[in-house]
A and B are shown apart, each in its own frame.
Chain A
Amino acid sequence: MDLGKVNLDAPHSMGTTIIGVTYNGGVVLGADSRTSTGVYVANRASDKITQLTDNVFVCRSGSAADSQIVSDYVRYFLHQHTIQLGQPATVKVAANLVRLLAYNNKNMLQTGMIVGGWDKYEGGKIYGVPLGGTIIEQPFSIGGSGSSYLYGFFDQAWKEGMTKDEAEQLVVKAVSLAIARDGASGGVVRTVIINSEGVTRNFYPGDKLPLWHEELEPHNSLLDILNSTSPEPMNI
């Protein structure tokens, strides 16, 4: 019924919020779970943090197809590399393989990725690989359309030498803030913590995230509110 003109020449915004943060002993990767095709939410519970090796994961944003095929190829190459090397691949190697594919196919690919992991030489490391195939090692990295809302937040909230729990809480808070304002991000918050001890995956469902400005406590139905004996406090 609604006629809207879609600007076909506008760059396809990466409908996602992805984050990678280093802490004292490892890394925490985080992402939302919304895959959207235009205005429609195709998948409300997707997993954007993909495993490359036992100790290296990648956060994917942008074209779902492009990011999936790149991670599939990198996983394949890393597997062969691991056999030939005789020990686990380093995060740097994994990131550079991602870069190689992203750079050499820059005309065709539209995906920004954050590679994060832990190895025995360098410890926890985060590498951003944005559109075009630049590789940039960072103490923390943010990506996807939702990240626009987080630059100010991280400028203020990120600190060197956080603990594992502080880092994870920061990531969950940040993704949750982005979800509140970015239409292309939503659903649940997934985190992956990687350190010398191994990998821990966590899941924070949409209804367990904190409420931000102008957001209200959820109810099952208006009928519950109308039938409650005590008057609802004013939500300002």
Chain B
Amino acid sequence: MEMLMDSSQAEHSFLSSVTASERTLNPYVTGTSVVAIKYKDGILMAADMGGSYGYTLRYKSVERLKPVGKHSLLGASGEISDFQEILRYLDELILYDNMWDDGNSLGPKEVHSYLTRVMYNRRNKFNPLWNSLILGGVKNGQKYLGMVSMIGVNFEDNHVATGFGNHLARPILRDEWHDNLSFEDGVKLLEKCMRVLLYRDTTAVNKLQIAKITEEGVTISQPYSLKTFWGYSAFQNPTVHAEGSWLDMVTGWAVTTME
């Protein structure tokens, strides 16, 4: 008679209806791309305010950019409930840091490292937090911008993006980003990326926030919308030469004779 059992076996041994483990298999309410760049005074980060439920654009005022402590800014895409859980973990982290009351405070590099460990350890237990996170900040004049994925892949760079942003925004940034961008140029560059995402990502929503973090602190803009452009002549009559494929000429003849 086996007396020593581990917890997962114990749950199955009696008439138990408890499942052995909880694993996130698919996300439900999700946020799409976050894009961030280093600029002259610190970091600029942009994200829209959409919380999609599959194909449905269910929630349109979800804040996906949040300050962390005094020196960091966190942007998240993926499952919103997991992002909210991460914010709770970070609250606790910052609380304990403050309780030391020693004049030191966790910088962006440390917070990024903490998040990497959290994400990677969850991944190892096959129970990931279904997010891609961007962590940016400035401490003692040093700018920091990093990313962590749901499987714990992490790196730093001058410009980062999550999700579709990797495919649509980063090529623009590779071309147009340069050191020491002004605030105005940085905002315009991010808006260029966000507009492309609005056109080409089905889960994007036209309501966004841009956040900046500098040595002075974090500012998150009020929500606003971007203008979109549809006034191309090709958009008004896209099928003027395409309708009917092989029947083009015949259809034209038929139209005139039926008049």
Which of A185-211 touch B at CB < 8 Å? 186-188, 203, 205-207
Which of A61-85 touch B at CB < 8 Å? 72, 75-76, 79, 82
Interface check A230, CB cutoff 8 A: no
A219 in contact with B251 (CB, 8 Å): no
Which of A23-54 touch B at CB < 8 Å? 33-34, 36, 39-41, 44-47, 50-51, 54
Given known A2-B149, A218-B225, contact A47–B238 (CB-CB < 8 A): yes
Interface check B224, CB cutoff 8 A: yes
Interface check A150, CB cutoff 8 A: no
Which of B219-253 touch A at CB < 8 Å? 221-232, 234-236, 238-239, 243-245, 247, 250-251
A-B contact sample (16 more), CB < 8 A, given A15-B55, A182-B56: A1-B153, A1-B166, A4-B27, A7-B26, A36-B202, A50-B239, A51-B243, A82-B258, A88-B258, A182-B57, A183-B57, A203-B235, A205-B235, A216-B207, A219-B224, A226-B221
Interface check B77, CB cutoff 8 A: yes
B239 nearest in chain A by CB position: A47
B201 in contact with A39 (CB, 8 Å): yes
B contact set with A: CB distance below 8 Å: 25-27, 52, 55-58, 60-61, 77-78, 132, 147, 149-151, 153, 162-164, 166, 184, 187-188, 191, 199-203, 206-207, 210, 221-232, 234-236, 238-239, 243-245, 247, 250-251, 254-255, 258
Chain A residues lying within 8 Å of B202, measured Cβ to Cβ, are: 15, 34, 36, 39-41, 183-184, 186
B227 in contact with A219 (CB, 8 Å): yes
Interface check A110, CB cutoff 8 A: no
- Please, how many angstroms separate the alpha-carbon atoms of A131 and B210 in the complex? 44
B187 in contact with A2 (CB, 8 Å): no
Chain B residues lying within 8 Å of A136, measured Cβ to Cβ, are: none
Given known A39-B203, A47-B238, A221-B187, contact A232–B222 (CB-CB < 8 A): yes
B201 in contact with A41 (CB, 8 Å): yes
Chain B residues lying within 8 Å of A235, measured Cβ to Cβ, are: 222-223
Given known A46-B238, A221-B187, contact A1–B201 (CB-CB < 8 A): no
B207 in contact with A222 (CB, 8 Å): no
Interface check A220, CB cutoff 8 A: yes
Chain B residues lying within 8 Å of A1, measured Cβ to Cβ, are: 132, 147, 149, 153, 162-163, 166
Chain B residues lying within 8 Å of A36, measured Cβ to Cβ, are: 202
Secondary structure type dominating chain A contacts:
loop
- Please, how many angstroms separate the alpha-carbon atoms of A161 and B202 in the complex? 36
A-B pairs with the 6 shortest C-beta distances? A205-B230, A45-B235, A183-B202, A214-B60, A216-B225, A218-B227
Chain B residues lying within 8 Å of A50, measured Cβ to Cβ, are: 239, 243
B162 in contact with A218 (CB, 8 Å): no
Chain A residues lying within 8 Å of B57, measured Cβ to Cβ, are: 180-183
B230 in contact with A187 (CB, 8 Å): yes
Least distance between A50 CB and chain B CB atoms (Å): 7
A206 in contact with B244 (CB, 8 Å): no
Q: How many interface residues does A have (CB within 8 Å)?
A: 55
- Please, how many angstroms separate the alpha-carbon atoms of A218 and B207 in the complex? 9
Interface check A223, CB cutoff 8 A: yes
- Please, how many angstroms separate the alpha-carbon atoms of A2 and B238 in the complex? 34
| Residue in B60, B162, B164 whose Cβ sees the most chain A Cβ within 10 Å | B60
Interface check A105, CB cutoff 8 A: no
Chain A residues lying within 8 Å of B234, measured Cβ to Cβ, are: 45
A44 in contact with B200 (CB, 8 Å): yes
A179 nearest in chain B by CB position: B57
Chain A residues lying within 8 Å of B225, measured Cβ to Cβ, are: 215-219
Given known A72-B245, A88-B258, A181-B57, contact A188–B221 (CB-CB < 8 A): no
Least distance between B212 CB and chain A CB atoms (Å): 10
Least distance between A13 CB and chain B CB atoms (Å): 6
- Please, how many angstroms separate the alpha-carbon atoms of A39 and B164 in the complex? 9
B227 in contact with A220 (CB, 8 Å): yes
A145 in contact with B201 (CB, 8 Å): no
B200 in contact with A215 (CB, 8 Å): no
A188 in contact with B206 (CB, 8 Å): no
Chain B residues lying within 8 Å of A223, measured Cβ to Cβ, are: 184, 187-188
Chain B residues lying within 8 Å of A219, measured Cβ to Cβ, are: 224-227
Chain A residues lying within 8 Å of B132, measured Cβ to Cβ, are: 1-2
Least distance between B232 CB and chain A CB atoms (Å): 7
